[in-house]
């Protein structure tokens, strides 16, 4: 993973929340919320909370009186999450590294993480930290993206940008968001961290957008893919976005578009 893969700064957090969350994250946030609600927890920790897609979904599904702590390493993302959540006495917000959590042992009934494990520099350490702060019989619920070929818009964007920068194609989407999908590896990492009861399943859905331009803007300017484009030629950000939009129009049409997305969902106890 490149150092820039973890940089969500500038206008990226706002675009990410306004465009990418409804495009690809909301469906899986609702899925995690349903799973957590079925566990009836009283204390929940979220790591790598981003702009709060899961936070909003989970808190909407749970009753008053719970304790929910949302954390992220990236303060600009967490600031948007807190703003979007609004006043909620159940909530606490804290900048924290998922691989070095500032909490005591056995504090939480549930630890959840949406599409964050791919960014952990040491996944076994991150999983071990989740296990450490879980109470006995607690549950770690998280998801990761499946391989990029199962996620149509991300694959289309990566292929188009490869044509613009053939000598050094931007590979952020392949390398990081879609780079940790081997179920055997995921299970082995969790077992090394001390989990013994592990459920892993594949969950497909459909990503929808009003236009190809919406999708191109979301991926090229609302993710660290933007950092890769600008590192190659900052003057070409809009041209790169337009190129991706044209590729999407060619494949999916110029009106409302839809494409398959697919994730892997894990519950570990």
Strand pairing category for 198-209 and 257-268: antiparallel
Give the single-character DSSP code of 101.
Answer: -
Q: Average pLDDT of each block of 10 consecutive residues along the chain (269 residues)?
A: 48 90 97 98 97 96 96 93 94 97 98 97 98 97 98 98 97 96 98 98 98 98 94 96 98 98 98
Residue 12's pLDDT is what? Answer: 84
8 A C-beta contact, residue 244 and residue 200: no
What does residue 247 show for φ and ψ, rounded to 5 degrees? -60, -40
CA atoms of 3 and 1, how far apart (whole Å): 7
Residue 186's pLDDT is what? Answer: 98
Residue with tokens 């929910």: 68
CA atoms of 237 and 226, how far apart (whole Å): 7
CA atoms of 95 and 63, how far apart (whole Å): 25
Residue range of the domain that includes 169: 3-268
Residue 7's pLDDT is what? Answer: 44
CATH code assigned at 36: 3.40.50.150
Q: What is the pTM of this model?
A: 0.94
Work out how many domains the chain is built from and give that number: 1
Residue 166's pLDDT is what? Answer: 97
CA atoms of 58 and 268, how far apart (whole Å): 18
CA atoms of 181 and 146, how far apart (whole Å): 5
């Amino acid at each position: 993973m490149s150092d820039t893969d973890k940089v969500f700064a500038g206008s990226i957090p706002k675009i990410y929340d306004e465009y990418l969350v409804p495009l690809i994250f909301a469906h899986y946030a609702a899925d995690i919320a349903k799973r957590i609600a079925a566990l009836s927890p009283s204390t929940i920790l979220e790591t790598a909370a981003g702009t709060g897609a899961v936070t909003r979904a989970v808190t909407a599904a749970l009753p008053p009186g719970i304790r929910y702590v949302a954390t992220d390493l990236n303060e600009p993302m967490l600031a948007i999450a807190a703003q979007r959540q609004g006043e909620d006495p159940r909530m606490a917000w804290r900048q924290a590294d998922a691989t070095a959590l500032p909490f005591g042992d056995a504090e939480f009934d549930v630890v959840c993480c949406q599409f964050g494990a791919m960014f952990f520099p040491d996944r076994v350490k991150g999983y071990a930290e989740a296990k450490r702060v879980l109470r006995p019989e607690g549950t770690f619920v998280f998801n990761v993206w499946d391989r990029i070929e199962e996620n149509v818009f991300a694959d289309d964007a990566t292929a188009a940008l490869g044509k613009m920068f053939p000598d050094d194609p931007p590979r952020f989407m392949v390398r990081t968001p879609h780079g940790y999908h081997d179920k055997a590896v995921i299970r082995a990492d969790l077992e090394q961290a001390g989990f013994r009861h592990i459920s892993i399943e594949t969950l497909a859905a459909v990503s929808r957008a009003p236009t190809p331009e919406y999708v191109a803007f979301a991926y090229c300017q609302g993710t660290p893919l933007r950092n890769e484009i600008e590192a190659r030629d900052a003057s070409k950000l809009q041209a790169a976005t337009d190129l991706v939009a044209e590729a999407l129009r060619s494949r999916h049409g110029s009106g409302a578009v839809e494409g398959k997305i697919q994730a892997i969902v894990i519950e570990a106890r």
